Amino acid sequence: MIDSKQKGVILILSGPSGAGKSSLYTALKESFPNHYFSISSTTRDMRDGEVCGIHYNFVTKEQFQKDIELGNFLEWAEVHGNYYGTSKAPILNALEQGKLVIFDIDVQGQVNVKKSFPNHTTSVFVTTKDSKILEDRLISRGDMDSEAIKKRLKNARCELDNISNFDYLLINDDFNTTASELICIVKSAFHKASLYDLESFNKSWSKL
Ligand code: 5GP
């Protein structure tokens, strides 16, 4: 039975900046130590406190373009006027090792990753209850000017139109509640029937 299970599980977290995806990832880390967090490449400027290679691989537009041409990305997208992309090789490697592979990517990325790995992927859209709460959170983060905040709020509205593509919707009102709900979702993701090669599973049954 174990042999007929495909390796690895993909969890996609999407939703507006400021909805709490990074903090939720921190909560997941403890419950699922055998995970790989996909570090994206981006052409956006580094924010205070961010470290290249940990939060993102910060690259130039030229480097990013070159990676597109070399086919190094599993998916890439333009978000808020900057480019973001997921490198293919580390994802394939982590899946082969049976890890939980966690993505924090936008709604365009969710569509593309789901297309590439339909059997492995579970996707969760995380948002605040309304736009005022999101605006307050972005202001309190203090790492964006008002123009950037305006852009992100506008983008959030567009992202919300894609919720129906997702498996789950989490409204991050109380953080601890949302974190436990997410942990339940991930535990369930490891038991999806689509992770199994059902043909070989059925064959092993008929031998009995
Ligand atoms: P931020 O600039 O706030 O870190 O991220 C902006 C948006 O880009 C977020 O919605 C985040 O999920 C998304 N994002 C980060 N990395 C990737 C990626 O590799 N691909 C895609 N499609 N979106 C990404």
182 close to 104: Cβ distance less than 8 angstroms: no
Name the more confident of 81 and 34.
34
| Atom of ligand 1 minimally distant from the CA of 82 | 2
Q: Measured between alpha carbons, how far is 165 from 157 in angstroms, rounded to an integer?
A: 15
Which numeric CATH code is attached to 39-97? 3.30.63.10
Quick one: average pLDDT of 133-155?
91
Sequence spans of domains, the chain: 1-34+100-200, 39-97
**To test the ligand 1 pocket, which listed residue (25, 73, 106) has its Cβ within 8 A of the most ligand atoms?**
106
Sign, CA dihedral 110-189-90-48, equals positive
Q: Which atom of ligand 1 is nearest to the CA of 14?
A: 12
DSSP 173: S
d(CA 169, CA 140): 24
What digits encode the pLDDT tens for the residues 48-98? 899 999 999 999 999 999 999 999 999 999 988 899 999 999 999 999 999
Residue type, 188: S
Which residues contact ligand 1 via a Cβ below 6 A? 14, 17, 40, 44, 75, 77, 79-80, 84-86, 104-106, 108-109
Pairing of strands 121-127, 168-171: parallel
| CATH number 3.90.260.10 given to 1-34+100-200 | no
Total residue length of the chain: 208
Q: Which are the contacts of 57, defined by CB distance < 8 A and separation ≥ 6?
A: 39, 40, 41, 42
Centre of ligand 1 to C-alpha 4, Å, is: 34
Helix (H) or strand (E) holding 73: strand 73-79
Q: For 32-46, 95-109, 192-206, which range has the lowest pLDDT when averaged over its residues?
A: 192-206
Question: What gap in Å lies between CA 158 and CA 63, rounded to an integer?
Answer: 28
Residues forming the annotated binding site?
A: 15-22
59 backbone dihedrals φ, ψ, rounded to 5°: -130, 165
Output the average pLDDT for the chain.
Answer: 93
Identify the weakest region by mean pLDDT among 94-98, 143-147, 179-183, 203-207.
203-207
